[in-house]
């Protein structure tokens, strides 16, 4: 870890974070949850909100893919995703769902000028709950060229978080 110039857990907890909160809306797979924790650690995301029936740490199946990121990334649980969104709005966060809907903004055209934002990722089959969408400030869509027009939630999270944080990466490096 010294050769890689990695921080300790304590240093990571104190380090400046990207002002992004990930909101997981009824994710069923513990492996997907663990993967999102790991990506959130990689891009130094502020926190994760686990909502609905999204599994919560500690659990060995989450840990299997998180590889310790549940210890570094702050997280909260909300019974209802809408409650998480309402609370985040009171703290000045803009809320964007990652969803293919009419009027969604293509990721490469998305303006990241919002100082604080929360990104909602939906269920593996159903996507972001339709009752949640009206509470969002907009929707982001990942451009795709294939037949399926969908990505695994952990892959989608990695792509979106990389894209949203890449302009700020040099500011956060030690």
Please give the Cα distance from 163 to 88 (Å, whole number): 21
Q: Is the peptide bond between 146 and the residue preceding it cis, with omega within 30 degrees of 0?
A: no
Q: Look at residue 45 in the predicted model and tell me its pLDDT.
A: 97
Nearest to 142 by CA among 98, 94, 111, 95: 98
Q: What domains, with CATH codes, occur in the chain? A: 9-168 (3.40.1280.10)
Q: Could you read off the pLDDT of 95-142 as tens digits, one per residue?
A: 999 999 999 999 999 987 778 999 999 999 999 999 999 999 999 999
**pLDDT (tens digit, 9 = 90+) per residue, 2-46?**
566 788 889 888 999 999 999 999 999 999 999 999 999 999 999
Query: Which of 88, 145, 149, 143 minimizes the C-alpha distance to 120?
Result: 88
Report DSSP state, residue 102.
T
Q: Residue 106: name the closest of 61, 65, 51, 163 by CA.
A: 163
Query: E strands, the chain, where?
Result: 18-25, 45-51, 74-78, 94-98, 105-106, 117-121, 138-141
Q: What percent of the chain has pLDDT over 90?
A: 81
Size of the chain in residues: 174
Question: Tokens standing for 145?
Answer: 């060229």
Query: The tokens of 123 are what?
Result: 């269920």
Whether residue 52 contacts residue 80, with contact meaning beta carbons closer than 8 Å, is answered with yes
CB neighbour list of residue 91: distance below 8 Å, 6 or more residues apart: 116
Q: Which of 142, 154, 136 is nearest to 105 (CA)?
A: 142
Partners of residue 45 on adjacent β-strands: 18
Residue 52 has pLDDT above 70, yes or no: yes
């Amino acid at each position: 870890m010294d050769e890689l110039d990695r921080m300790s857990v304590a240093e990571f907890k104190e380090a400046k974070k990207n002002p992004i909160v990930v909101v997981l809306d009824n994710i069923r797979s513990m492996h997907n949850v663990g993967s999102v924790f790991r990506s959130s650690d990689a891009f130094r995301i502020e926190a994760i909100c686990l909502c609905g029936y999204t599994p919560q740490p500690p659990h060995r199946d989450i840990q299997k893919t998180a590889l310790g990121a549940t210890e570094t990334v702050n997280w909260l649980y909300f019974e209802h995703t809408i409650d998480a969104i309402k609370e985040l709005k009171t703290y000045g966060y803009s809320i964007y769902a990652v969803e293919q809907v009419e009027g969604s903004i293509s990721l490469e055209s998305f303006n990241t000028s919002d100082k604080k934002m929360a990104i909602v990722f939906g269920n593996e089959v159903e996507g972001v709950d339709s009752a949640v969408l009206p509470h969002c400030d907009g929707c982001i869509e990942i451009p795709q060229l294939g037949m399926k027009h969908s990505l695994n939630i952990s892959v989608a999270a990695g792509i979106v978080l990389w894209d949203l944080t890449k302009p700020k990466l040099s500011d956060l490096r030690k």
